Structure 1
């Protein structure tokens, strides 16, 4: 269904220092990183798509996080959700919803919400039973 998700950032090195460890904690493999461009992308398993890409906006203007726009990453376990959320906050992310069950979505939905250093809203969610 999706080819890629592109998230605009202002400071490539800061964004890379945030996304590399957070996505690695979820087992998401980095596919490319070109600091001279600057952009980086991570691939799904079994790749190569969809991709998750961070970069400065093509038009050169400042990125603006959208209200209601959120990227959600899949976690294999609830403990992985907890760990990714804690790691994101330790790397400068802002909490938008502590890890926990959200039965209003479905009985096994366990998610956590946070914003990256540029204000982009992210989620980590597991849909598995405890």
Structure 2
């Protein structure tokens, strides 16, 4: 359904470090990184798409997070959700909701919420039962 997701950043190095840590926990591979543009992209090891991209806004204006916008990344297990949330916080992210069940979505929804160093809101979630 998706070709790619692009998240605006203001400073490449801290954003790249943050997302490199998060994507490693999720098992995603770095496809490319070019600090001169600046941008970087990750993908699943066995898939051509979708990409998860970070970069400076095309119009040259500062990147700003959208109100009500969030990107949810799929984790293979609840333990991966826990590890990803911990990696995000250790890499400079801020907690928007600790790992745990969210039965209001469905009985097996296990998720965690955080913001990147630029304030973009992300979720990492697992839909599988224990």
Length-normalised TM-score, structure 1: 0.97
What residue number does 2:103 align with? 103
Q: Is it true that 1:73 corresponds to 2:78 in the alignment?
A: no
Length-normalised TM-score, structure 2: 0.97
What residue number does 2:63 align with? 63
What residue number does 1:27 align with? 27
**Cα distance in 1 between the residues matched to 2:28 and 2:77:** 14
Deviation, structure 1 residue 45: 4.7
> Please, which moves more after superposition, 39-48 or 21-30?
39-48
Q: What do you get for the CA RMSD once the two structures are aligned? A: 0.8
**Cα distance in 2 between the residues matched to 1:105 and 1:20:** 29
What residue number does 1:53 align with? 53
Deviation, structure 1 residue 116: 0.1
Structure 2 contact 27–44 (Cα < 8 Å) conserved: no
What residue number does 1:113 align with? 113
**Cα distance in 1 between the residues matched to 2:78 and 2:111:** 8
**Cα distance in 2 between the residues matched to 1:73 and 1:31:** 17
Deviations 1:81-102 (A, max 9, x none): 0011011111110100010000
Unmatched tracts of structure 1, length 5 or more: none
Unmatched tracts of structure 2, length 5 or more: none
Report the count of equivalent residues: 130
